Structure 1
Amino acid sequence: MNKLNLQNSTLPLIGRVLLAAIFLISGVGKIAAPAATAGYIAAMGLPFPALGVLLAIVVEVGAGLLLVLGYRTRLVALLLAAFSIVTGLVFHNAIGDQNQLIHLLKNFAMAGGLLQVAAFGAGAFSLDARTATPAVRTA
């Protein structure tokens, strides 16, 4: 494998792992302290905070793991991009507070990276590449 092929194979994997890390760490944090997360959700005026915690854990941990593995990557990346935008707008909308603005922009930047993954796929080191048909694999 030449240097360019190695980069084209390795960089998407590294990118997926780095993008997934924030979701996995955040999801594990919610598992460790669900009451705190439910309180935050309730404080934002959203209904059914316990259900919100469960949904957030499933999305963050489940989709985060799928992103790392590169399984159904385009769909997972779109889901996580939408999740990032929605959660940013709901939980970090006080843009007069510089910290909240930074968090909102972080969510938007993550969504941008995830949209790149959705557009270009998982790369060679992924379950998607292993399960693709030969015609799709060469595309």
Structure 2
Amino acid sequence: MDAVVLIGRVLFSVLFLGSASGHFMNADAMAGYAKSQGVPSPKAGVLASGGLMALGALSVLLGIWADAGMLLLAIVLLPITFLMHAFWKESDPEAKQNQMVQFNKNLALIGAALMLFAFFAHTPELGLTITGPLFDRG
């Protein structure tokens, strides 16, 4: 089971590492979109969210307080989901559908990250991690 969990951690982390990379490599374009969505300090927001995603994903990937990494990813996704994918504000049907898909994807990722947070916090003998959980039941 340790190998299966490791594979899952790698696959889960790849999505966030890729997204974090995009936040840094395309910061100006992403900040422009964030500004169009009414995000205050859009460039700082893009860079901060990219940094937090990278930190959370590396925590999960390397198994350094993976529980805290999962919680961080859930927390980062929450405002992104509601600020950047507000499908209810769209009037164009195609744009509305696209934003709804992104909103629902993020909700599913938040749910998965919260479940995995609890899993890692309550499974100190998981193996194949560098540290145990930060939020253990002790």
Query: What TM-score, normalized by structure 1, do the two folds share?
Result: 0.80
Distance 2:3 2:108 in 1: 21
> Deviation at 1:98?
1.6
Give the match's secondary structure for 2:87: coil
Work out the number of aligned pairs and report it. Answer: 126
Distance 2:64 2:116 in 1: 12
Identical pairs, percent: 30
Please provide the CA RMSD for this pair: 2.2
More off after superposition, 38-47 vs 119-128: 119-128
Distance 1:51 1:99 in 2: 25
Task: Tell whether the 8 Å contact from 1:19 to 1:113 is kept in structure 2 after alignment.
Answer: no
Unaligned runs of 5+ in 1: 1-7
Residue in 1 that maps onto 2:100: 101
**Cα deviations by residue, 1:107-139 (Å, 9 ceiling, x for unpaired):** 11111211121111173111124x99xxx8xx9
> Deviation at 1:86?
2.0
Unaligned runs of 5+ in 2: none
List structure 1 segments (4+ residues) > 4 angstroms apart after TM superposition. none
Residue in 2 that maps onto 1:89: 82
Compare relative contact order (CA 8 Å, sep 6+) and give the higher one, 1 or 2. 1
